[in-house]
Amino acid sequence: MSIKKEIARRRTFGIISHPDAGKTTLTEKLLLFGGAIQEAGAVKSNKIKKGATSDFMEIERQRGISVATSVLAFEYNGTKINILDTPGHKDFAEDTFRTLTAVDSVIVVIDVAKGVEEQTEKLVQVCRMRKIPMIVFVNKLDREGKDAFELLDEIEQKLDLHVTPLSFPIGMGYDFKGIYNIWEKNVNLFSGDSRKNIEETIEIEDLNSEELDTLIGNESAETLREELELVTGVYPDFDQEAYSKAEQQPVFFGSALNNFGVRELLDCFISIAPPPRPKESEERVVKPEEKDFTGFVFKIHANMDPKHRDRLAFVKIVSGVFERNTPYLHVRNGKKLKFSSPNAFFAERKEIVDISYPGDIVGLHDTGNFKIGDTLTQGEEIHYKGIPSFSPEHFRYINNADPLKSKQLAKGIDQLMDEGVAQLFTLELNGRKVIGTVGALQYEVIQYRLEHEYGAKCTYEPLSVHKACWVEPKDPKSEEFKDFLRVKQRFMAKDKRGQLVFLADSPFTLQVTQQKYPNVKLHFVSEFK
Ligand code: G4P
């Protein structure tokens, strides 16, 4: 098959949601359709349950599992689908943000009873900023929940989206009768035992026909007709271009647990979701169909077996074909590297592959060469954009607790930061090291991993920082900037890439500083040019 055809049949996406909305269940059902797994329950949830935050073994077990579910690939009706796992737990939000740089579209799962929740808001905001096409799946229709119109309103308002329903529920909870598929113009009746079976759909040529009344009863049929009229009146028609530009978001309703409404979602998804898209680099826009291979590292996973300290770097292929045993340029360090056993990921296994195409993810064994954001090419100096660090939420000093192991500690910190577990800031004044994380959980993970993987011990000390701000002076030689550096000396640090960072200790300090130094820009994201 030609590279163009291979690209056109690929769909690489992520499912995002607040924990418990049903992401794992939906993933599992999608895999069932692809025949990638035989039975439900095969996809392990890698979420961290409440109360388990201090249980290291639990964390490790969870992390181990998440390797297996990092990428799930399967074939469905001639389409190659790659699902990238995005942890829902807020302490791993940064991981999810980075994974979103490697997807071409997303499906947003919303719980019909809970509506739009906090994590969904944050993740959708990132997708909106990056103009990632989104489809919304409203889940758990077998339970009592919010009225469909009320929910659509909430999605528009809280998530700042422009929705158009492509399916519509007939009743809900106890009275849930099924779904009218606006996209395919048919009715799908809910029997409650469709968990194992793929439901049958009934074509409805004309909504006013009596057939509808016979199927769902007069009252429900009347209500549905009225509701659909309202849908047509209020919401625009589906517009492929608007969806692709992230200006319109189609909505589906269903129940993942009951495998209901999932096939409709999947069928529509493969027909409308974008294949791998061109990607911006610092140098130029790279198109997938270009002959030469390029790709970038968006995730690094440590090997949990302490005897093999190698890691797995996940590379999204942007252009050309990636071939086994071919030397590629590691752009940051200028080295040529060859990979004898690149892994491709399938639902329940990983496998060595000879060739991969744009949209695919390959897992490369790494002994410490890669950092998140690194680019691999066939020789061209390309640097992909768009893997920024966000200001952490928590900050602590890290201290060495075993003076004989300072080398091990330094190496451990270095590698864990490359993996993107947390961010390191070094204070300009005294060289002390500060670890910044999105959630408190990471401190325990770091301490545990430093000890078990690197034989180093650390302790933490509290530090009151509100936000890390990347500093961009309008004129680095100006008196204003010099004054800023002098006055804020105690709060200045360098991040791992050597960029200057101001650690503001409170929202008030931040505000005052911004007012006092209007020509020193403070960014909450490391990438701002
Ligand atoms: P997550 O990955 O987004 O965190 O959610 P997950 O799929 O694990 O689903 C969270 C809970 O919601 C699970 O129940 C799951 O069975 C349930 N669920 C998912 N889809 C539906 C649905 O369509 N209807 C109903 N009624 N429930 C649904 P749990 O009790 O927390 O876990 P489990 O013990 O069933 O695994």
Centre of ligand 1 to C-alpha 48, Å, is: 14
pLDDT at 57: 45
Cα–ligand 1 centroid distance for 14 (angstroms): 18
CB distance 111 to ligand 1 below 6 Å: no
Specify the ligand 1 atom closest to the Cα of 18: 3
Instruction: Tell me if 279-377 shares its fold with 394-523.
Output: no
CB 19 less than 6 A from any atom of ligand 1? yes
Ligand 1 centre from 111 Cα, in Å? 10
Q: Atom of ligand 1 at shortest distance to CA of 19?
A: 4
Collect all residues with Cβ–Cβ distance below 8 Å to 391 and sequence separation of at least 6. 436, 467, 468, 469, 524, 525
Smallest CA separation from ligand 1 atom 11, residue: 20
Decide which of 2.60.120.10, 2.40.30.10, 2.60.40.790, 1.20.120.450 is the CATH code for 279-377.
2.40.30.10
Residue 22 assigned ligand-binding role: yes
298 CA distance to ligand 1 centroid (A)? 28
Tens place of pLDDT for every residue, the chain, 529 residues? 789 999 999 999 999 999 899 998 898 888 888 775 555 454 554 444 443 333 444 554 555 444 445 788 888 999 999 999 887 677 777 778 888 999 999 999 999 999 999 989 989 988 998 899 999 999 999 999 999 999 999 999 999 999 999 999 998 888 888 899 888 888 888 876 544 444 566 777 777 888 888 888 888 899 999 999 999 999 999 999 999 999 999 999 999 998 889 989 999 999 999 999 999 999 999 999 999 999 999 988 876 555 666 788 999 999 999 999 999 999 999 999 999 988 887 766 678 889 999 999 999 988 888 988 899 999 999 999 767 778 898 999 999 999 999 999 999 999 888 888 889 999 999 999 999 998 787 898 889 889 988 899 999 999 999 999 999 999 999 999 999 999 999 999 999 889 999 999 999 999 999 999 999 999 988 775 5
- The pLDDT of residue 411 is 92
Residue 371, phi then psi, degrees to nearest 5: -125, 160
Ligand 1 touching residue 256 (CB < 6 A)? yes
Give DSSP secondary structure letters for 277-290.
Answer: --EEBSS-EE-TT-
Nearest CA to ligand 1 atom 28: 257
Residue with tokens 């049929």: 221
d(CA 463, CA 424): 14
- Atom 29 of ligand 1: nearest residue by CA position: 20
- Cα of 41 from ligand 1 centre, angstroms: 11
What gap in Å lies between CA 376 and CA 293, rounded to an integer?
8
C-alpha 70/C-alpha 88 separation (Å) is 13
pLDDT value of position 199: 54
CATH-assigned architecture of domain 394-523: 2-Layer Sandwich (3.30)
Ligand 1 close to Cβ of residue 25 (< 6 A): yes
Query: Domain extents for the chain?
Result: 3-174+236-272, 279-377, 394-523
How many Å lie between the centroid of ligand 1 and the Cα of residue 19? Answer: 9
Task: Give the span between the Cα atoms of 493 and 424, in whole angstroms.
Answer: 10
Cα 134–chain centre separation: 12
Scan for tokens 């061109």, then name that residue: 278
Alpha carbon distance 343, 507 (integer Å): 46
Select from 16, 18, 20, 69 the residue to mutate for testing ligand 1; criterion: most ligand atoms less than 8 Å from CB.
Answer: 20
Full-model pTM: 0.84
- How would you class 340 by CB atoms within 10 Å of its CB: exposed for 0-12, middle for 13-18, buried for 19 or more? exposed
Q: Is the CB of 20 within 6 Å of ligand 1?
A: yes
Phi/psi of residue 435, each to 5°?
A: -105, 130
Which tokens in the block code for residue 364? 């490369």
Instruction: Tell me the C-alpha distance between 17 and 93, whole Å.
Output: 11
Type of residue at 232: T
First-to-final CA distance of the chain: 39
Q: Is 455 a known ligand-binding residue?
A: no
Half-sphere exposure in the Cβ direction for 274 (13 Å, CA): 20
Residue nearest to atom 6 of ligand 1 (CA): 22
- Residues 199 and 36: their CA atoms lie apart, in Å, by 18
Pick the CATH number of 3-174+236-272 from 3.40.50.300, 3.40.1410.10, 3.40.1280.10, 3.40.718.10: 3.40.50.300
Write down the pLDDT at residue 68.
47
Q: Is 19 annotated as a binding residue?
A: yes
CB 378 within 8 A of CB 293: yes
Residue nearest to atom 16 of ligand 1 (CA): 257
89 marked as binding residue: yes
Residue 227's DSSP bridge partners are none
The CA distance from 55 to 454, in Å, is: 20
**Predicted ipTM?**
0.97
Q: How far apart are CA 350 and CA 133, in angstroms?
A: 28
Q: Which of 16, 90, 92, 257 to mutate to test the pocket of ligand 1 (most atoms within 8 A of CB)?
A: 257
Alpha carbon of 192 to ligand 1 centroid (Å): 16
Q: In the prediction, which pLDDT does 47 show?
A: 45
pLDDT at position 269 is: 96
Ligand 1 atom closest to residue 256's alpha carbon, by position in its atom list: 23
Is 23 within any annotated ligand binding site? yes
86 marked ligand binding residue: yes
